[in-house]
Amino acid sequence: MRRRLQGGFTLIEVLVALAIVAIGMAAVLSALTSSASTVLYMRDKTLANWVALNHIAEQRLRPQMPQLGNSDGDVDYAGRKWHWRQETVATAVQGMVRMDVHVRPSDVKGDDTTGWYVSMSGIMGDAVGQPRGDQPLWGTGVGGGLPNGLNGGNSTGMGNGNGTGTGTGTGTGTGSGSGTGTGTGTGTHK
């Protein structure tokens, strides 16, 4: 009698195929885990950025300048506790300070120089320049005149109606008007 050969896979072929599938699935799971970790880290980095921005804004809203040196603290934001560290240093401009704010989640350990998710700088000061008169009075429709020597000739403008032109010399410029209108400026031209 003849034996019929049946088609199919041997046990070794099935085991090799399963090993290949298992290795492929492990690679896919590893990629998914890495992607999920990256998404969570980027979420935390974004929230840390907002914590730093909020801290700088809070410092700017205070009536007094922050003390030079280092300070740190914790804040609750977006359902999580965050640790911040502020380094305040003087700048070359008298009356201005630079605030470097570093933020990380409170449960992330690190020292004063490592482990921070975000480092952001802000400037604060009470140094105020002399009024120049070329800034519009917002909301009134009336603008200030340009500084001496900048007005020249007649011009038509939108908004405050101040004149601009070319030329050098000294002169005083005045303008009036509201909304859209024309203004005239007078000056000495060379």
Q: What is the pLDDT of residue 154?
A: 42
Q: Classify strands 136-137 and 118-125 as parallel, antiparallel or unpaired.
A: unpaired
Q: Is the pTM of this model over 0.95?
A: no
CATH number of the domain encompassing residue 83:
3.30.1300.30
- Do 46 and 116 lie in one domain? The reply is yes
Domain that holds residue 174: 130-190
> Does any domain span residue 106?
yes
- Do 69 and 117 lie in one domain? The reply is yes
Measured distance CA(182)–CA(171) in Å, rounded? 19
Q: What is the pLDDT of residue 33?
A: 87
- Do 57 and 110 lie in one domain? The reply is yes
- Do 185 and 118 lie in one domain? The reply is no
Other C-beta atoms closer than 10 Å to the C-beta of 116 total 20
How far, in whole angstroms, is CA 184 from its chain's centroid? 41
- Do 114 and 134 lie in one domain? The reply is no
Q: What is the pLDDT of residue 67?
A: 93
Q: Classify strands 154-158 and 118-125 as parallel, antiparallel or unpaired.
A: unpaired
- Do 67 and 136 lie in one domain? The reply is no
Structure-token match 């359902």, residue found: 79
pLDDT in tens, the chain (190 residues): 566 667 788 999 999 999 999 999 999 999 888 888 899 999 999 999 999 999 999 999 998 899 999 999 999 999 999 999 999 999 998 889 999 999 999 999 888 888 899 999 999 988 766 666 676 666 665 555 544 444 444 444 444 444 444 444 444 444 444 444 444 444 444 4
- Do 84 and 110 lie in one domain? The reply is yes
Q: What is the pLDDT of residue 47?
A: 96
> Does any domain span residue 50?
yes
Residue 3 gets which letter from DSSP?
P
Q: What is the pLDDT of residue 126?
A: 82
Q: Which residues of 155-188 are buried (b: 16+ CB within 10 A; e: fewer)?
A: bebeebbbbeeeeeeebebebebeeeeebbbebe
Q: Which of 72, 92, 125 is the last residue of a domain?
A: 125
Q: What is the pLDDT of residue 5?
A: 67
- Do 135 and 158 lie in one domain? The reply is yes
